[in-house]
Structures are given as structure tokens and as C-alpha cells.
Amino acid sequence: MLGEEALESRDDPRRDAVGMIVGRRGLHDGDEPARRRIDRDDVGERPADVDADAEAAGAGIQNALPMEESPRRWRLRIDPSDAIIEFVSIVLAIVLATAVNSWREGAQTRSDTHAMLLEVRQEITANRDALQARYKHHLDVSTAMSALADRSGRRHYTSYDEMWQTFHKANPEGFKPFYGVETSWDVAQSTGLLRNVEFSTLKELVAAYAMQSRANGYLDHLINDLHMIPTSGDNVFYGLVNLTIDLSDDDSNERNLLAHYAGALAALDRAGIHDARSARANSS
């Protein structure tokens, strides 16, 4: 066994060997006092062996550890000016996105409204052309029947054959009634796009289709009169008078309807709703 005097020197390499043996024995044999003494010696010797630069580098690495591994608690420091700039940028981005989205929706609504009005214009134009092709014929029939009623008025007598011959002469191919179409108008009303139409334009459109509905309804009454059959007697003078009045009213309705069609088309022109196909057809 080594003597105690030999262990007093801290620079003696034998001391390290003995310390390792004692320390190893303390760990294995449960010699807790010896292990604690050796640990204290180790702790006391470390500061002398650690380089200052290495210690500073180690401290830097420790500070660079994630928050959960660092012994220090991170404190977030934000420059108030940076926070204000970021907040303003977010607000401007939201406002800009909202404005762009609103502009897109407005552009789509204007496009849909324009397409809807173009369909209505084409329908009105087709109705007007069809009515113009029949109006003169209806006027001729009304004039012929009114002349017969005037001639028969002196004696208040007209036979069914005389009335039929007069009607057939003025109308050899049939009466050709006119019923205005309003499909595009019904669709426009169902979509709700009419609320985007200027009031003056909408007013003319509503008036035109209201007059068309009135003319269609009155025409049904006239068609019933045209199916008149001979009475038990030969005199159909009062039936002729009723038919003449109905024909006159129908002529008036069609004349007013043509005027409303013209007003509606003029309003659509002022609103910038132009039909290129109609323009080419009129020019040809």
C-alpha cells in the first residue's frame, strides 16, 4: 500500500491512479464519502483547466439553444414602428383584396345585366317586326267591316253571308292574330338583374310589356267574336257592330303597342344596349 506522504503531492501521477482506484471502488463498494470527496476535487480542478475563449464559446452556444433547452427565458422585443408598419400592411392588403373582389363582382353584374337587356331588346325587336307585318292587314279588315256596318246601319239589317263575304274578301288567308312573346322579359324579372337598370329605361320596358299583355288579353276576346255562328234569324247586324268595335279596339291596342316598342328600343339605345344583328338587318 502507498504511504500517505506519497499522496500529499498533487502533481504525483500516482495520486491519479490511486484516485481512480479509490473512486472506482467507491462506486462499486458503496463508499459514498470517498466518492463525494473525489467529486469535490474534480470540481475544484476544472476552472484551472478551462480556457477563457472556450468558456465564452460555450456560453454563446448555450444561449443559442432553443427556448426549452436554454436555462434562460427568452424575452421577445419588438420595435413599435415595425409593429405599426406590419399592421398597416395587413390592413391595406385586406382593403385592396376587398376592393378587387368588389370590382370583379360589379363587372360581372354589369356584364350579366347588359346580356340580359340585349336579350330583351332582341325579343322586343322580334315582336315589333311581327306586329308591323300584321298591323296593316288587321287595319284593312277593321276598315272593311266598319264600312259594312255603316251601310247596314240605315236599315239595321245584315245577313250572315254578307258579313262573311266581306270578311273573307278583306282577309282571304285568315286573320293572323299577333301575340307578343315575353320569355326573355320573364327571365329578366326572375333573375333580379332589373334592379341594376336605370329607372328611365326600366320604365319604358315595363310600359311596353304591360301594353303587350293588355293587347294579348284583348285579342283573345276578339278571336271569340270571330267564331260567331249564324243566329236563328237572318239578321246579324248587332253581331257585326260588336265585331267592328272589337276590331277597332284591337287596332288601337296594336298601334299603341308599336309606339311602346319604339319607346323601349329608344331607351335601350340611350342605355348603350345595341343589337348588331338588328342594325345589319335594318341596313340591308
Say how many C-beta atoms besides its own lie within 10 A of residue 212's C-beta: 24
Of all residues in the chain, what percent carry a pLDDT higher than 70? 67
Q: Is residue 263 part of a domain?
A: yes
48 lies in the same domain as 155: no
Amino acid code (one letter) for 168? H
Distance, CA of 211 to CA of 189 (rounded, Å): 17
Of all residues in the chain, what percent carry a pLDDT higher than 90? 41
Please report the pLDDT score of residue 118 as a whole number. 97
Does the structure show a pLDDT above 60 at 6?
A: no
- In this prediction, residues 29-50 reach a mean pLDDT of 50
Q: Which of 55-69, 73-87, 255-269 has the lowest mean pLDDT?
A: 55-69
Please report the pLDDT score of residue 3 as a whole number. 46
pLDDT category, 43, cuts 50, 70, 90? very low
Give pLDDT tens digits for 109-161: 899 999 999 999 999 999 999 999 999 999 999 999 999 999 998 888 988 88
Q: Is residue 87 part of a domain?
A: no
230 lies in the same domain as 123: yes
pLDDT category, 49, cuts 50, 70, 90? low
234 lies in the same domain as 141: yes
Q: Is residue 71 part of a domain?
A: no
- In this prediction, residues 177-205 reach a mean pLDDT of 95
Q: Any idea of the CA torsion for 119, 122, 127, 130, to the nearest 10 degrees?
A: -150
**Percent helix, percent strand, percent coil in the chain, to nearest 5:** 75, 0, 25
Number of Cα atoms under 13 Å in the Cβ half of residue 264:
29
- 270 compared with 40, residue with greater pLDDT: 270
Give pLDDT tens digits for 217-266: 998 888 887 776 665 567 888 888 888 999 999 999 999 999 999 999 99
Angle in degrees, 0-180, between the axes of helices 80-152 and 199-226, rounded to the nearest 10: 30
What is residue 227's three-state secondary structure? coil
124 lies in the same domain as 58: no
Q: Is residue 201 part of a domain?
A: yes
Angle in degrees, 0-180, between the axes of helices 80-152 and 237-270, rounded to the nearest 10: 150
Angle in degrees, 0-180, between the axes of helices 237-270 and 199-226, rounded to the nearest 10: 160
Give how many domains the chain has, as a whole number. 2
Q: Is residue 73 part of a domain?
A: no
Q: Is residue 20 part of a domain?
A: yes
- In this prediction, residues 60-72 reach a mean pLDDT of 51
- In this prediction, residues 71-80 reach a mean pLDDT of 60
47 lies in the same domain as 133: no
Q: Is residue 24 part of a domain?
A: yes
41 lies in the same domain as 130: no
Please report the pLDDT score of residue 57 as a whole number. 55
pLDDT category, 204, cuts 50, 70, 90? very high
32 lies in the same domain as 168: no
From 39, 63, 87, the end of a domain falls on 63
Distance, CA of 185 to CA of 123 (rounded, Å): 8
Please report the pLDDT score of residue 276 as a whole number. 75
Q: How far is CA 61 from the centre of its chain?
A: 59
Does the structure show a pLDDT above 50 at 32?
A: yes
248 lies in the same domain as 135: yes
Mean pLDDT of the chain: 78
From 63, 78, 105, the end of a domain falls on 63
127 lies in the same domain as 33: no
Q: Is residue 145 part of a domain?
A: yes
Does the structure show a pLDDT above 50 at 7?
A: no
58 lies in the same domain as 118: no
Task: Tell me the residue range of the domain where 136 lies.
Answer: 114-283
